[in-house]
């Protein structure tokens, strides 16, 4: 935490987002560089990223208040679907046209859809960004997780059908549907319980304890039943903010206690980055990293255009969707059983992409929000 605090001060001098400093200092201190933080320590502290992502999802889910959604309309949903599809189709096309195996291209391209909300949220919070791009961005990254899971499920079904024409596409699609629907049901039910408990416990300390307990229960249930913890925590938060009039008070308390948790999360994320793999991915890695960004930016632009979002949203939203981490790594691990002959290569490319995206993502987000006039 001291190292992260020091890096934050250094980033202010350099006029860079704090999250970039946390990642860089973690990278330097991690087992793949100076080894101040060993692999054993990373393993011991592995619960911190899980809990942090739960609270990040809780913050993003709060953007789904019905009164706000009525105001912004269909734009976040349309943009999330088209930017996700844009990344998948552009990466698929780039890989297939350069002569790579179709099944490999489909699975790797499907993972391109996933976006990491954590770095984006941290930049928004640090600079207190406000405006149409920020307002549209947070619901988009929330919906993005569901789009990524469905896109991966469809691509995997097609890849399996190509390998085994007798395989049922419907059965391959069942898993992502169950994961999404199950997470939404669990999160929704817990959101009702959350609102009830907040009504019964009025003290600030008690309400903070209720919030932590609800996040832990939600994460535990998702791990037990193999559901998306990000979607479940978002759903819990979304239901809670629509049932309780106390949500602003509750989340203002939570926002005061979570910064050290987020600081550790990004420090540990940086420590897990292995720069040594960058040289092993070759031209395929470059194609993936470059064309994913092209797909995201063009898809977000098209979605904003179709949904008649403000011109500033059309122009800058895509650049805030660059970060990629947890969900993508999870899907890459799944690919080991889907296309075992390509699994190791896909995992290496995704880990390489994570290194690059996590380092440049906060910078592109800050740049886009500043150009949009939403960072003072």
- Rounded distance between C-alpha atoms, residue 239 and residue 228, angstroms: 17
Inform me whether the pLDDT recorded for 209 exceeds 90.
yes
Return the CATH number of 50-245+272-365, one of 1.20.1530.20, 3.40.50.620, 3.40.1010.10, 1.25.40.10: 1.20.1530.20
Beta strands in the chain (DSSP E): none
- Rounded distance between C-alpha atoms, residue 264 and residue 261, angstroms: 5
- pLDDT (mean) for 80-107: 87
- Rounded distance between C-alpha atoms, residue 191 and residue 241, angstroms: 8
Instruction: Give yes or no for a contact between 253 and 208, defined as CB atoms under 8 angstroms apart.
Output: yes
Nearest alpha carbon to residue 126 among 116, 118, 137:
118
Residues 6+ apart with CB under 8 A from 48: 261, 264, 265, 268
Confidence at 330, pLDDT banded by 50, 70, 90: low
- pLDDT (mean) for 166-181: 69
Inform me whether the pLDDT recorded for 119 exceeds 80.
no
- Rounded distance between C-alpha atoms, residue 22 and residue 30, angstroms: 12
Query: By percentage, how much of the chain surpasses pLDDT 70?
Result: 93
Q: For residue 165, what pLDDT is reported?
A: 65
Averaging pLDDT over each range in 19-23, 68-72, 207-211, 246-250, which range is the top one?
207-211
Q: For residue 166, what pLDDT is reported?
A: 61
Instruction: Give yes or no for a contact between 258 and 51, defined as CB atoms under 8 angstroms apart.
Output: no
Q: What is the DSSP string of 110-157?
A: HHTT---HHHHHHHHHHTT--SHHHHHHHHHHHHHHHHHHHHHHHHHH
| Residue 370, H or E segment | helix 340-371
Which two three-digit tokens encode residue 333? 């691990």
Which two three-digit tokens encode residue 54? 């739960």
Confidence at 169, pLDDT banded by 50, 70, 90: low
Report domain extents, the chain.
50-245+272-365
Q: For residue 270, what pLDDT is reported?
A: 80
Q: Alpha-carbon Rg of the chain, whole angstroms?
A: 20
Average pLDDT of the chain, as a whole number: 83
* Direct distance between the N- and C-terminal alpha carbons of the chain, in angstroms, rounded to an integer: 28
Confidence at 115, pLDDT banded by 50, 70, 90: confident
Q: For residue 113, what pLDDT is reported?
A: 84
Inform me whether the pLDDT recorded for 167 exceeds 60.
no
Nearest alpha carbon to residue 92 among 280, 333, 295:
295
- pLDDT (mean) for 122-140: 83
- Rounded distance between C-alpha atoms, residue 19 and residue 21, angstroms: 5
Inform me whether the pLDDT recorded for 173 exceeds 80.
no
- Rounded distance between C-alpha atoms, residue 317 and residue 310, angstroms: 11
Nearest alpha carbon to residue 191 among 226, 227, 243:
243
Inform me whether the pLDDT recorded for 57 exceeds 70.
yes
Q: For residue 280, what pLDDT is reported?
A: 63
- Rounded distance between C-alpha atoms, residue 209 and residue 203, angstroms: 10
Q: For residue 214, what pLDDT is reported?
A: 96
Confidence at 258, pLDDT banded by 50, 70, 90: confident
Q: For residue 170, what pLDDT is reported?
A: 63
Q: For residue 171, what pLDDT is reported?
A: 62
Cα distances (angstroms) measured from residue 264 to each of 1, 67, 252, 370 = 6, 34, 20, 26
Nearest alpha carbon to residue 320 among 80, 62, 6, 39:
80
What's the longest Cα–Cα distance across the chain?
62
Q: For residue 141, what pLDDT is reported?
A: 80
Q: Which has the higher per-residue pLDDT, 273 or 247?
A: 247
- Rounded distance between C-alpha atoms, residue 271 and residue 299, angstroms: 32
- pLDDT (mean) for 320-345: 74
Inform me whether the pLDDT recorded for 245 exceeds 80.
yes
pLDDT tens-digit series, residues 262-305: 889 888 888 877 767 666 667 888 888 889 889 999 998 898 88
Confidence at 312, pLDDT banded by 50, 70, 90: confident
Confidence at 333, pLDDT banded by 50, 70, 90: low
Instruction: Give yes or no for a contact between 236 and 214, defined as CB atoms under 8 angstroms apart.
Output: yes
Count of Cβ atoms closer than 10 Å to residue 241 Cβ: 25
- pLDDT (mean) for 18-26: 84
């Amino acid at each position: 935490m001291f190292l992260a605090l020091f890096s934050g001060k250094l980033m202010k001098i350099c006029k860079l987002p704090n999250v970039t400093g946390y990642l860089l200092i973690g990278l330097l201190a991690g087992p793949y560089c100076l080894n101040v933080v060993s692999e054993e320590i990373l393993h011991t502290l592995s619960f911190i990223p899980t809990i942090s992502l739960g609270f990040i999802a809780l913050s993003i889910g709060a953007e789904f208040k019905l009164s706000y959604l009525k105001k912004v309309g269909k734009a976040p949903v349309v943009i999330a679907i088209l930017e996700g599809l844009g990344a998948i189709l552009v990466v698929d096309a780039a890989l297939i046209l350069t002569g790579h195996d179709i099944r490999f291209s489909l699975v790797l391209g499907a993972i391109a859809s996933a976006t990491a909300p954590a770095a984006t949220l941290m930049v928004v919070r640090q600079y207190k960004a406000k405006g149409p791009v920020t307002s549209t961005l947070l619901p988009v990254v929330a919906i993005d997780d569901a789009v990524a899971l469905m896109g991966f499920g469809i691509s995997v079904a097609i890849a399996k059908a190509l390998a085994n024409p007798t395989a049922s596409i419907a059965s391959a699609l069942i898993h992502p549907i169950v994961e999404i629907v199950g997470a939404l049901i669990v999160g929704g039910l817990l959101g009702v319980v959350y609102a009830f408990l907040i009504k019964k416990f009025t003290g600030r300390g008690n309400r903070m304890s209720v919030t932590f307990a609800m996040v832990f229960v939600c994460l535990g249930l998702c791990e037990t039943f193999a559901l998306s913890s990000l979607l479940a925590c978002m759903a819990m938060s979304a239901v809670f903010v629509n049932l309780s009039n106390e949500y602003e008070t509750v989340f203002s308390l939570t926002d005061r206690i979570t910064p050290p948790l987020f600081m550790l999360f990004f420090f540990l994320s940086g420590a897990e980055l292995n720069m040594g793999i960058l040289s092993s991915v070759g031209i395929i890695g470059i194609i993936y990293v470059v064309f994913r960004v092209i797909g995201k930016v063009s898809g977000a632009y098209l979605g904003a255009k179709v949904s008649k979002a403000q011109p500033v949203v059309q122009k800058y939203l895509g650049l805030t969707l660059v970060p990629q981490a947890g969900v993508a790594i999870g899907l890459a691990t799944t690919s080991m059983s889907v296309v075992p002959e390509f699994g190791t290569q896909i995992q290496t490319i995704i880990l390489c992409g994570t290194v690059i995206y996590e380092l440049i993502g906060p910078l592109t987000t800050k740049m886009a929000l500043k150009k949009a006039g939403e960072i003072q």
